Chains A and B, each alone.
Chain A
Amino acid sequence: MIREKWVLILLVLFFSITLFAVRNGREKVNDRITSIEKEQQKSNLSETLVKAEIDSAEQKLKPLPKESWADPRSLINVAWDAPRVVAMDAQPLTLISTGQSDLFTHYAKPKIYGESYTLGFSELSNPVQLLFGSFDLAFVCIYLLPLLVLAFSYNILSSDKESGVMKLTFSQPVSIFSWLLSKLFLRFIILSGIVILSILVAVTIYGVDIFQNASGLLKVFALVLLYMLFWFTLSFLINLFGKSSGNNAVALVAIWLAIVLLVPSIISQVSNSLYPVPSRINMLHQYRVASDEANKRADEILKSYYREHPELAPKDTTQENRYAWILSYFASADIVNQSVKPILDNYDAALAKQQASVNNLRWLSPAILVQNSLNEIAGTSTAHYTAFREQVVDFSFVWKDYFKPRMFANELMKASEFKDLPTYTYSDADIKKNYAADLSGIIFFVGISLTASWFVYQRYATAGILQAD
């Protein structure tokens, strides 16, 4: 087998494709890391400047501005000028699968103005890129790897039959089934070795420490190898029908098309009908109606004009609390928030339910199972982004809640307090992991394929395979 020239060509091609795919993943991850770092640097600089101003004020090195709201020690200025960068850091293995990472932004800087619920999470992008998708390692494994497997195994039985070798083999007392299986297994082992080596080399070239990330990589390999095994057993099954190599090739390509292209897109289409996504537009209308009513009540606390432009509200320096105007703003905004929160929460719950139902449909195709787990290992699944959004909103409250009580107490910021400001670190610990389930799903498909093979063998063994054509 190795002696054939095209085999070598295919393997070299596969390696280059793997390299290209991992390179693309690396570039995307680098962009993400760079933009988060840049933002973090800007934020550090702002904090340093604000701290320096406060320090000067405390040490009476500079005269205080006349208006108290321009005082650098004002909590409003600190909260506004030195917000935290709430970032979803890339994981070491993020480069293997783009997943949903091209749809969403990876960092936010929640301030104390503006409603947290209207924080946008879209990332700027050319939608054509989103439509066409990425050439990442996940694409190579899900779509192209099966073709490699099929290329190595489509004629495992038929070529021997066609060349007449089979008659020689079976003149010896050998069980056909076990002989076939061992042949298949040998190819599986060889191809697996090549694929694993390719991936290891590619990720090492692009900066992954394979020893530190051994467990993640082992998970990837288990997934990929089982997926390859599934395709090998399919090849086995088709070969047992005893048809010619040409027939096998066409049949297997048709099956590849069905499992990798047609079934997932059919399921995706069907899921839209079975479990339609709750209407955002509907929610929008309810939201507007609810906030309209709440605005009327909020007007009693603070006129709408000042709520739209809090910076214009009269900053009466004779008032006892320098933060009176923004506290009124908070109070009035809270009324509106409380009104619209149930609508937004209902929507999120409905969406979560719909997504859970759709997730259950992944059991219908091994390609979907592999995609799901690769995204999970890379940290780019829908669940990861939903979790990040929730963490951002939660942090925006933590940030606000740090300042609010201090504002009520009419405090000023001290330079020494900067280390007490709330901080954020992204964590995916609370996300439900489906890897084990997905892996068993693929094993199940392998099992089905092998069982079907056994039945076909029983029917055709004595009749078909050994007949000289």
Chain B
Amino acid sequence: MILKIAFKELKEIVRDGRFRITALIVLLLLVAALFVSKGYYQSVNAQHNEAKVNARSEWTGQGKKNPHSAAHYGTYAFKPKYPLTLIDNGVDKYSGVSIYLEAHKRNEAQYMAAQDQTALSRFGDLSPDFVLIFIIPLLIILIGFNSFTREQESGTLRLLKSQGVPNWKLAMGKWFGVFIPVLLIIVPVYILAAIFLSGIKDYGEFSLGALTILFGVYLVYYAVFTNITLVISSLVKKSNVSFVILLGLWILSCLAMPKISTAIADSLYPYPTQVEFEEQITEDKKKGLDGHNPWNEESKKLEQETLKKYGVDSVQQLPFNWNGFLMQEGEKHTADIYFKHYQLLKDTYVNQSKVYRATAALSPFLPTRFLSMAISRSDYHAHWDFANAAEKYRIQLVGKMNGALMNNSKYGDWDYMEDETLWNSVEDFSYEPPTYASVIGTNSSNLATLFGWLVLSALVLYAAVNKIKIA
């Protein structure tokens, strides 16, 4: 019975010229978006790989230098691009691509793509996620808005009921009638994406499992919209009204709620300005051990302690270069200061995420978007993880340089130089992203909210179809 109803729905929908055109356009848009995305992804990735090689050769090819100078020269960490960003580029356009790693300073990621683009880019890009998360729900609305109302208006609902069709079977049949056309579009796109992504060589590891989970999330999202569409269609008498209400819900959910959430998050948990942030760090630096000015209090204390520990009277008598040691202690202290302040930033971000999680109760778009970005490794969390890994590497790199100064040179000998043996002894920066398991773990509340939407909308649909009054 369900299948019969579903088939009838499908026939009616497919016969509708409007649907055919719309579905074709959507499919074309998706395929085009996929191709353009792929081109962009490959060119950016090629640039990054070239940049990594350049940065490494710049580092190892420094020639002879004082190791502390080498630490100042520093190197760059480039954020890797992952294959699934082809589907959802997330916040990559709004976060920097490279971090300059140097002594005494923790830098922000530079070269945010959006800053080099004009205001046009703020309209959004026609990326696959734009079509998949924004446009497909509209397609669902277009297919299903008059699912029940056209039966009301043409009187066929009365006929159906007189045949003793149970409400829930009717609903299921109509549900499949709406969902299957969507599947007909999504499945080919999934296969195409899988082929594309597995064909990309050397550019990040592609996980078919992750792609499947990603599309799984989208399918749950579409199920939610299908439920909502059918709920409205069954509760309302006229097709026009159903369409307007559903359109309003789509606008609220996909256009308005994200922006409203942003306004609330900004109001409640604002970020400091860049200048304020830097000045707070400078303040803390002034008050603390800075490793440079030998007249600084903390360093004097450390000097006394160290002299006592080694039982000598002056720093020249220490078995290592005191300047190297001082630099490193200073570097550790500075790193601690940076860690404290960056943690405050992270706290602001975590608090803002709470706001988004709360407003996700008002829009199925929000948890879907966050999950999609997380699985594609293009969310802000992925950026933080990379930035933290880069910082660890920076500390290690500078530590090695200061260590060489400390152990291999004499106090006061600023002409001391090391060569590429030392530079090569520092391994190249390599970054492993968090596992997908941990990504899902971090996003468990978004997952729960989305499933909450699914269950709730299904329950409401079940209740609604039982209440249908024949017009």
Contact = CB atoms under 8 A, between A and B. Distances in A.
Interface of A: 20, 24, 27-28, 31, 35, 38-39, 99-100, 103-109, 120-135, 139, 143-144, 147, 245-246, 249-250, 253-254, 257, 261-262, 264-273, 276-277, 279-282, 284-285, 288-289, 292, 303-305, 308-309, 311-312, 351, 355, 358-359, 361-362, 367-368, 371-372, 375, 381-382
Given A104-B115, A250-B18, A282-B47, A129 B277 contact: no
Interface in B283-313: 292-293
B111 interface: yes
Nearest to B69: A304
B217 to A, nearest CB: 17
A127 B95 contact: yes
Given A105-B274, A246-B240, A277-B113, A132 B258 contact: yes
B352 to A, nearest CB: 5
Prevailing SS type, chain B contact patch: helix
Interface in B369-388: 379-380, 383
A361 B48 CA distance: 29
Contacts of B115: 103-104, 121-122
A139 B119 contact: no
B321 interface: no
Given A103-B114, A312-B292, A109 B275 contact: yes
B76 A269 contact: no
Nearest to B267: A27
Contact of B123 (A20, A245, A355, A368): A368
Contacts of A271: 120
A128 B91 contact: yes
B39 A126 contact: no
A349 to B, nearest CB: 13
A284 B76 contact: yes
Given A277-B113, A312-B292, 7 more contacts: A126-B352, A134-B259, A246-B240, A249-B243, A280-B110, A311-B293, A359-B118
B138 interface: yes
Given A265-B130, A280-B116, A282-B47, A246 B138 contact: no
A135 B262 CA distance: 8
Contacts of A273: 36, 39-40
Contact of A105 (B116, B130, B275): B275
User: Which 4 residue pairs of A and B lie closest in terms of their CB atoms, listed nearest first?
Assistant: A127-B94, A264-B123, A127-B91, A135-B259
In the complex, which of the residues A147, A276, A305 has the most CB atoms of chain B within 10 Å of its own CB atom?
A305
Contact of B69 (A39, A305, A381): A305
A292 to B, nearest CB: 8
B356 to A, nearest CB: 7
Interface in B260-284: 260-263, 265-267, 270-277
A20 B68 CA distance: 54
B408 interface: no
Contact of A269 (B48, B125, B348): B125
Contacts of A35: 273, 275-276
A308 to B, nearest CB: 5
B203 to A, nearest CB: 16
